Chain A
Amino acid sequence: MDLDLSAEQEAFRDEVRAWLAANVPVEPLPPSSTAEGFAAHREWERRLSEAGYAAISWPKVYGGRDADLLTAAIFAEEYARASGPARVNLLALGLAGPTIMAFGTDEQKRRWLPGILSADAIWCQGFSEPDAGSDLAALRTSAVREGESGDFYLVNGQKIWTSVGRFADWMFALVRTDREAPKHKGITFLMIDMRSPGIEVRPIVQINGDAGFAEVFLTDVRAPVANVVGAEHDGWRVAMTTLGFERGAGLGAHVRFSADVAELVGLVKAIGLEDDPLIRDQVARLYTETEVFKHNVYRTLTAMAKGRAIGPEASLNKLYWSEMEARIYETGMGALGPYGELTHKADAAVASDHWTHQYWYSRASLIYAGTSEIQKNIISERVLGLPKEGRFS
């Protein structure tokens, strides 16, 4: 056990820290849910790319740095510490890109990877549908071969909860290509050009007022068969591999949670509640949880660096941080008391919108990327080995 960084890792950390200090915009960028804000975020991605920081985990042959997991974690921590702008092309860099590398043809790699790296192409994910959430394989968006030689599909259906959907250039989607096959067998992983005729994108305004998500309606959208990644009807396997790439995501999240708890201490003092024993106990508990989360991140990173597979244990991690995040903002709202009702427009406001805004967003964390209940099912069945519940068919 040794929690110090190597000289090489320290040098990388210092280099990243210096670059971010010199380059992260002093004024926060406008929100990426507006056209202007999105363009600013794309520009920021380009700067990261030019400096060689957009995809440090990618292999050198595709323009990355071949960074190992610990190095990626160091970058993520520094990025969070510097409060760098939201990364609008993470789905491409973290999911679509690695999937193309793993399953794509040489032609597909040449066609799509450079655009992802340079942020000329922003990608969204087309997995969830209105009736396919936790039960993703129930998806119904259909792709039927058309044309004399059957060289393109006509795609019809609806995708939902599509982050960056309004401004994305491409979508990596799961579509049903065989209605007769069992539900996991008839799915294909298909790349769809978001500028294609027949695509309509409608923003979804969330309860915190943001419009980060969209619904995507696809009506007779033509997509070339050459845009299939992996084999036709083999998309479920490709997608499960893709989701496996997501396990390295959120490496720097502990920095943000720790910063939130530190901010909460200041908030409690500002409101004059620092002698309230109950609030003190609650804040100390959150501090405990964020510190332990950090240790658990290092524990997981070490295991992954040693080549141990992180399978269903990822569910423990998701369940832990999402519930911790919710408790952080619940406690913040409780500490704010009547001031928690106010928006930042109120002249009596004592805190920025951060606490109320993030309170609502933290409720979403319990739902997306597998609800808490689904995570508990996975943990109990695949880690503890408990039998499956009787299912309705």
Chain B
Amino acid sequence: MNFDFSEDQYALRDAARDFFAGESSPGYVRSTWESETARSPELWRKLAETGFVGLTVPEEHGGLGLDEVDLVLLLEEAGYAALPEPLLETTAIGVPLLREAGTEAQQKKWLPKVAGGEAVLTVQLVDAPFVVDAHIADLLLLERAGQLHAVPAARFSATLQPSMDGARRLFSVAAETGDDTRMTGGAPEAARAYDRGAAGAAALLNGVSQRLLDLSVAYVKDRQQFGRPVGSFQAVKHKLAETLLVTETAKAAAWYAAYAIATDAPDRSAAASIAKSYASDAQNKANAESLQVHGGIGFTWEHDLHLWLKRGKALEQAYGSATAHRARLAERLFA
């Protein structure tokens, strides 16, 4: 019994933290809001060179051949840095889906490209109305009428749907599927991919929640009113103590979900729903309280806080909201 990460996994987390601190600074994240694609091919290439993008790609296809437990702390760090790039869609969802449901030809063609940083994947699963980063994706994995397809960029069109997080671009897509885009799996594999999306989004959210908490703690220690730091008032302290509690708890839920998925445990779907619903609620709390304790300055466009507020609020809804996942859990409980 060991509910902890290995030295290697912590080393990977530390490397990710350092990398993101340099490459996904608040200034960079802010700049993507204004840029045409919100994406940097150069940053993606660097992410591939570090091995992050190809983390879940099997070694024979040029990746690191690691699993969800290895990935979960990396996603937390990506959330902490509000990294705009689609690591979730490509590395956490797309690659395992290709592995589980791609034809041999599809795997041979795409997995090495992903590991080499030459291909970006995105997904549309279980009635999701929008697709993240469809404008720069080289391959779209989607489910239509119980059949999975791998659709290359030339075979789908994408229409931008402006959304609250300027660094996270959403699109409606029209895809031309056919026999040549068919994958080997259908609804069960799509559902497994959805579990990975929910669990991965939970890990990203937990990083966002932690960042909002850290920004808030730093702010209330510094900000003075009535001749003392506002962080000395119990009304403020208790909000942040409650936020820490739900954020830390949400992490344990996401770690377990990663473990359950990696080991294909019988409760993997339930674990994913627990992780996402808890992380979404924790984020809702972190989001509201961080804005509250920042006071007026947090409500300005100029302050960096809203880069995380928007990312958190967006991910809270993605891959199933808290209530959607609880409804899924209730189906099992009351069956």
Question: Which residue numbers of A lie inside 8 Å of B, CB to CB?
Answer: 1-6, 9, 70, 265, 268-269, 274, 277, 280-281, 283-285, 287-289, 291-292, 295-296, 298-299, 301-303, 306, 316, 319-320, 373, 375-377, 379-381, 383-390
- B61 within 8 Å of A by Cβ? no
Question: Which residue numbers of B lie inside 8 Å of A, CB to CB?
Answer: 1-6, 69, 217, 220-221, 228-229, 231-234, 236-238, 240-242, 244-245, 248-250, 252-253, 255-256, 259, 270-271, 273-274, 277-278, 323, 326-327, 329-330, 333-334
In the bound complex, CA of A302 to CA of B329 (Å): 28
What's the least CB distance linking A10 to chain B, in Å?
Answer: 11
In the bound complex, CA of A133 to CA of B240 (Å): 25
Let me know if A380 and B4 touch, CB within 8 A.
no
Let me know if A386 and B221 touch, CB within 8 A.
yes
What's the least CB distance linking A362 to chain B, in Å?
Answer: 18
In the bound complex, CA of A4 to CA of B3 (Å): 10
A-B pairs with beta carbons under 8 A, tally: 146
Let me know if B277 and A269 touch, CB within 8 A.
no
In the bound complex, CA of A388 to CA of B229 (Å): 10
In the bound complex, CA of A288 to CA of B2 (Å): 21
Q: Which residues of B contact A301 (CB under 8 A)?
A: 1, 3
Let me know if B3 and A299 touch, CB within 8 A.
yes
Let me know if B252 and A303 touch, CB within 8 A.
no
Known: A283-B333, A295-B252, A316-B248. A1 touches B4 (CB 8 A): yes
Known: A1-B69, A379-B245. A387 touches B240 (CB 8 A): no
Known: A291-B274, A302-B3, A384-B241. A390 touches B232 (CB 8 A): yes
Let me know if A295 and B253 touch, CB within 8 A.
yes
Closest B residue by C-beta to A298:
B3
22 example contacts (A-B, Cβ-Cβ < 8 A) are as follows: A1-B69, A1-B255, A1-B259, A3-B259, A281-B330, A283-B333, A287-B274, A288-B273, A295-B255, A302-B2, A302-B4, A316-B248, A377-B237, A383-B241, A384-B217, A384-B240, A386-B220, A386-B231, A386-B237, A387-B229, A388-B232, A390-B228
Most buried by B among A1, A289, A381, A383: A1
In the bound complex, CA of A9 to CA of B1 (Å): 9
Which residue from A269, A288, A319, A375 sits with its C-beta under 8 Å from B278? A288
In the bound complex, CA of A381 to CA of B231 (Å): 10
What's the least CB distance linking B59 to chain A, in Å?
Answer: 21
Let me know if B232 and A295 touch, CB within 8 A.
no
In the bound complex, CA of A375 to CA of B234 (Å): 12
Let me know if B329 and A288 touch, CB within 8 A.
yes
Most buried by B among A277, A280, A380, A387: A380
In the bound complex, CA of A70 to CA of B69 (Å): 22
In the bound complex, CA of A376 to CA of B235 (Å): 10
Q: Which residues of A contact B217 (CB under 8 A)?
A: 384-386
Let me know if B1 and A5 touch, CB within 8 A.
yes
Q: Which residues of A contact B323 (CB under 8 A)?
A: 281
Q: Which residues of B contact A283 (CB under 8 A)?
A: 330, 333-334
Let me know if B232 and A287 touch, CB within 8 A.
no
In the bound complex, CA of A2 to CA of B253 (Å): 15
Q: Which residues of A contact B334 (CB under 8 A)?
A: 265, 268-269, 274, 280, 283
Let me know if A288 and B326 touch, CB within 8 A.
yes
What's the least CB distance linking B118 to chain A, in Å?
Answer: 32
Let me know if B330 and A284 touch, CB within 8 A.
yes
In the bound complex, CA of A386 to CA of B221 (Å): 6
Let me know if A387 and B228 touch, CB within 8 A.
yes
Closest B residue by C-beta to A293:
B249
What's the least CB distance linking B224 to chain A, in Å?
Answer: 11
Closest B residue by C-beta to A290:
B274
What's the least CB distance linking B333 to chain A, in Å?
Answer: 5
Let me know if B242 and A296 touch, CB within 8 A.
no
Top 8 A-B pairs, shortest CB-CB distance? A380-B237, A284-B326, A280-B330, A379-B241, A376-B241, A298-B3, A284-B329, A387-B232
Q: Which residues of B contact A280 (CB under 8 A)?
A: 326-327, 330, 333-334
Let me know if B326 and A285 touch, CB within 8 A.
yes
Let me know if B277 and A288 touch, CB within 8 A.
yes
Closest A residue by C-beta to B329:
A284
Let me know if A381 and B326 touch, CB within 8 A.
no
In the bound complex, CA of A385 to CA of B217 (Å): 8
In the bound complex, CA of A3 to CA of B255 (Å): 12
In the bound complex, CA of A202 to CA of B160 (Å): 74
Let me know if B278 and A373 touch, CB within 8 A.
no
Q: Which residues of B contact A390 (CB under 8 A)?
A: 228, 232
Q: Which residues of A contact B245 (CB under 8 A)?
A: 316, 319-320, 379
Which residue from A285, A295, A379 sits with its C-beta under 8 Å from B3? A295
Most buried by A among B241, B249, B326: B241
Known: A2-B1, A316-B245, A386-B240. A295 touches B333 (CB 8 A): no
In the bound complex, CA of A389 to CA of B240 (Å): 15
Q: Which residues of B contact A5 (CB under 8 A)?
A: 1
Q: Which residues of B contact A388 (CB under 8 A)?
A: 232
Closest A residue by C-beta to B260:
A3
Known: A288-B277, A292-B274. A387 touches B221 (CB 8 A): yes
What's the least CB distance linking A111 to chain B, in Å?
Answer: 38
Most buried by A among B228, B253, B333: B333
Q: Which residues of B contact A269 (CB under 8 A)?
A: 334
Let me know if B234 and A377 touch, CB within 8 A.
yes
Let me know if A3 and B277 touch, CB within 8 A.
no
Q: Which residues of A contact B278 (CB under 8 A)?
A: 288-289, 292
Known A1-B6, A292-B252, A376-B242; 17 more pairs at CB < 8 Å: A1-B69, A3-B1, A9-B1, A280-B330, A281-B326, A284-B326, A287-B274, A288-B273, A295-B252, A295-B253, A299-B255, A301-B1, A301-B3, A303-B4, A320-B245, A373-B234, A387-B228
Q: Which residues of A contact B2 (CB under 8 A)?
A: 1-3, 302
What's the least CB distance linking A146 to chain B, in Å?
Answer: 44
What's the least CB distance linking A154 to chain B, in Å?
Answer: 40
Let me know if B333 and A284 touch, CB within 8 A.
yes
Q: Which residues of B contact A380 (CB under 8 A)?
A: 231, 237-238, 240-241
